[in-house]
Amino acid sequence: MFSQRRLRLLLVTVAAVIFLIFYYSGDARKVQNQTFYQSTLSAMKAQEAARQAQIKAESAPMHRPDDGLDAEVKKDAVPLAQGSTGKGEDMEEISIAGRTKIQVSKNRGSDGSEDTSAQSEEQKAAAAAKEELDTILKQAPVIIFSKSYCPYSKKAKSILLDKYDITPRPYVVELDGHRIGKDLQDLLGQTTGRRTVPNVMVNGMSIGGGDDIGAMDESDELASKLQMLGGKWIREVKRAAA
């Protein structure tokens, strides 16, 4: 038989063992619960991130690999002329008295309308203007396209014809009195970028209007400019005797 002292000691030991068992098993459950909680939270966050990414992908505009090509095609609001590749084949050169050349459109005046007779008339007018311009530019190295009533034209003519002795003498075309003056002015606007008058050309190159000629005269650059662009075709440029 156990003595009471030994019995109490045994009971205390059993109680301590049971307490330790429950204590450590409880800590283990806490650790397990915490690990489960953290893994569950991570999974939920990952799922939410995937859902947000899917929403952004669905709301983003669709992009096709050939979108850039479509955009480039849509830029051409006007179709290219038949047989033209868009690389200058619709342009042609006009020879200027064998000295230089300028480029003009082959199809100037053709707007693609259904009125073929009107197109034909415009094309004839454009061809006539090209031929007339070629003839005019052969008259002299320096050409003054002018209008008789224009004060800026009068200014340019006064400087080039009165203040300077230019050999050969500049040739003057009064567009307001010319039989196809409007078509010539349109063609000049296309070929030189200057549709206004006066338009002073040297060997087929526009050097400006009345204000430009006046500025070059005041800075003593006009004579050298004419000689440089005129080359051998301008034999002499000097100020006229007072």
Dihedral sign computed on CA atoms, order 109, 114, 120, 125: negative
Quickly count: other Cβ atoms within 10 Å of residue 202's Cβ.
22
pLDDT at position 67 is 43
Domain assignment present for 195 = yes
pLDDT at position 162 is 97
Domain assignment present for 226 = yes
Domain assignment present for 40 = no
Inter-CA distances, 154 with 157, 160, 166, 176, 197, Å: 5, 10, 17, 14, 10
123: closest CA among 105, 104, 110?
A: 110
Number of folded domains that form the chain: 1
Task: Return the residue matching tokens 């868009």.
Answer: 86
Strands 171-174 and 142-146, bridge-based pairing: parallel
The residue ranges of the chain whose pLDDT is under 50 are 31-32, 63-87, 109-110
Domain assignment present for 205 = yes
Domain assignment present for 6 = no
Distance (Å, whole) CA 103 – CA 93: 4
227: closest CA among 238, 211, 215?
A: 238
Phi/psi of residue 214, each to 5°? -60, -40
Task: Return the residue matching tokens 């084949």.
Answer: 89
Domain assignment present for 5 = no
Say which CATH number the domain at 145 has: 3.40.30.10
**Which residues share a beta bridge with 208?**
200
pLDDT at position 143 is 98
Distance (Å, whole) CA 58 – CA 37: 32
197 neighbors 157 (Cβ within 8 angstroms):
no
pLDDT at position 14 is 76
Q: Please give the model's pTM, rounded to 2 decimal places.
A: 0.57
Residues 6+ apart with CB under 8 A from 232: none
Q: What letters, b where the CB count within 10 A reaches 16 and e where it falls short, cover 139-170?
A: ebbbbbbbbeebebbebbbebbbeebebeeeb
Domain assignment present for 101 = yes
Domain assignment present for 84 = no
pLDDT at position 102 is 65
pLDDT at position 169 is 97
pLDDT at position 9 is 74
**Which structural domain range is residue 164 located in?**
91-239
